[in-house]
Amino acid sequence: MDRTKEDLPLQIDVPQSGRKQICCDMRQILWEEHVMACQALNESFFVHGTQVDIGILDFSKAFDVVPHTRLLNKLRFYGLSAEVCQWIGNFLKGRSQQVIVDGVASQSESVDSGVPQGTVLGPLLFLLFINDIGININTGTSIRLFADDCLIYRPIHSHQDQVLLQKDLSSLQTWSTTWGMNFNPSKCNVLRTRVGQRGAINYFYTLHDQILAEVDTVKYLGVWISNDLSWTPHVDYVTKKGNQKLGFLRRNLRGAPTPSKSLAYTSLVRSGLEYAAPIWDPYKIKDTNKIEAIQRKAARWAKSAYSPHTSVTGLLQDLGWSGLGDRRMILRLTLLYKIYFHQVGIEHTEVGIIPNPRPSRKNSFQILRPRSRKSPYTNSLILRTIPEWNNLPDSTIMAGSASDFKNRFSATQP
């Protein structure tokens, strides 16, 4: 993988949405996709008051149908050396598959397409293959790609914008047919953001002559996005999953000691409650209470303390569990630290970070905060975190790494 990165003289291009360097850290790229997609939607919807039509597209058997010959031709076009292309060709070819049912095996058949799933190289090869999918889309339309997830959207000022977005969908359809990567229209959807009390500009988008279904919420890279760009549907989703996991632990770890219960909760339940949390960190009290309720129940279970007279706050302190809201704040600040010091592939201009030309003596890294009266945008990742960032001392911000920054910040908290 490292040799492939060194041999590749280009950057992975996400058309109309900026460029990002090739990176083996899929988790980091996932963060970048979440941040930039949500920031772009927030700005179009709340700042400019514009309806945004979003197409969520699904490839049919994406990783299994990539033609090996066409993939290798693209890699040569991108500038990979003959040596590396031959190595990748050997990695892809010579594979076979068979089906075994009740101990009886079918005849082995050669596999002439697809990238091996479960490998480090597979997702990178797929991303390189679909890299030029949006090369012909219109100016003003954005497309975001992550593995086989494809998100295309455009601010809608008039019916003409929807006509242009339909042309872009047709362009993607042409690309998919040309390169043998067909979309599955039955799993493709359209989400249309609502703009206050104004009526939406409606339009029926099609793909492969099928009308795409319009939905109110959609799951993108594990996070639920709603047509009003609120995070309540996602909070409902993660709390439901969290309660299910906690119930499973309570049924199967009845007699386990407290340390084992604590480890099980933090590993299996809390980790799910914090997936991509800086992006969707809720600002509504009802949503934060839903999440905290799970941890409070987990504390009673871990300590086997079910008396109504027992202080849950004391249980949390005994267990060493910080409040989930505090943990999400640390995650947001750490992500902003990485963005500010260019430790992730997100440019300042992409998320509206403008250094304050007149910072305070306490903090020489202050950021200007855009004005907004609309709560969802005011409480989005960047705008919400800027005041907290501006209150930090230089001694905390001038850390050598993100982990050091997190430790310094945590040390200042009560």
Query: CA dihedral defined by 61, 62, 67, 72, rounded to 10 degrees?
Result: -160
Distance CA(78)–CA(111), nearest Å, equals 25
43-52 burial, b if ≥16 CB within 10 A, otherwise e?
Answer: bbbbeeebbb
**Over residues 156-171, mean pLDDT:** 95
DSSP states of 203-257: ---EETTEEPEEESEEEETTEEEETT--SHHHHHHHHHHHHHHHHHHHHH-TT--
Percent of the chain with pLDDT over 90: 53
Three-state SS at 109 = strand
In a domain, 107, yes or no: no
In a domain, 279, yes or no: yes
Q: Do both 169 and 284 map to the same domain? A: no
Q: Do both 252 and 346 map to the same domain? A: no
In a domain, 218, yes or no: yes
Round the average pLDDT of the chain to a whole number and report it: 85
In a domain, 94, yes or no: no
Beta bridge partners of 142: 153
pLDDT in tens, 59-109: 888 788 888 999 999 999 989 999 999 999 998 888 888 889 988 988 888
| Domain edge (last residue) among 263, 293, 321 | 321
| CATH code, 193 | 3.30.70
Are 188 and 58 within 8 A, CB to CB?
yes
pLDDT of residue 413: 80
pLDDT of residue 197: 57
In a domain, 346, yes or no: yes
Classify burial at 60, counting beta carbons within 10 Å of its beta carbon; exposed 0-12, middle 13-18, buried 19 or more: middle
pLDDT in tens, 247-287: 999 999 999 999 999 999 999 999 999 999 988 999 999 99
State the pLDDT confidence band at 227, using cuts at 50, 70 and 90: confident
Alpha-carbon separation of residue 328 from 31, 168, 304, 410 (angstroms): 14, 37, 27, 12
Q: Do both 317 and 339 map to the same domain? A: no
State the pLDDT confidence band at 41, using cuts at 50, 70 and 90: low
Q: Do both 36 and 172 map to the same domain? A: yes
Q: Do both 373 and 285 map to the same domain? A: no
Alpha-carbon separation of residue 278 from 11, 27, 147, 193, 325 (angstroms): 27, 14, 22, 22, 10
Q: How many domains does the chain have?
A: 3
Q: Do both 278 and 141 map to the same domain? A: no
* Residue 175: pLDDT over 80: yes
State the pLDDT confidence band at 24, using cuts at 50, 70 and 90: very low
State the pLDDT confidence band at 326, using cuts at 50, 70 and 90: very high
* Residue that wins the pLDDT comparison between 20 and 308: 308
Q: Do both 377 and 278 map to the same domain? A: no
In a domain, 78, yes or no: no
| Domain edge (last residue) among 226, 258, 281 | 226
Q: Do both 341 and 380 map to the same domain? A: yes
Are 128 and 78 within 8 A, CB to CB?
yes
Decide the pairing of beta strands 142-146 and 223-226.
Answer: unpaired
**Over residues 136-164, mean pLDDT:** 89
| Domain edge (last residue) among 267, 302, 321 | 321
Q: Do both 48 and 162 map to the same domain? A: yes
In a domain, 80, yes or no: no
Q: Do both 314 and 333 map to the same domain? A: no
* Residue 134: pLDDT over 50: yes
- Of 7-21, 169-183, 192-206, 315-329, the range with the lowest mean pLDDT is 7-21
Range of 299's domain? 232-321
* Residue that wins the pLDDT comparison between 381 and 164: 164
Q: Do both 148 and 30 map to the same domain? A: yes
In a domain, 119, yes or no: no
Q: Do both 356 and 297 map to the same domain? A: no
- Of 60-69, 163-172, 283-292, the range with the lowest mean pLDDT is 60-69
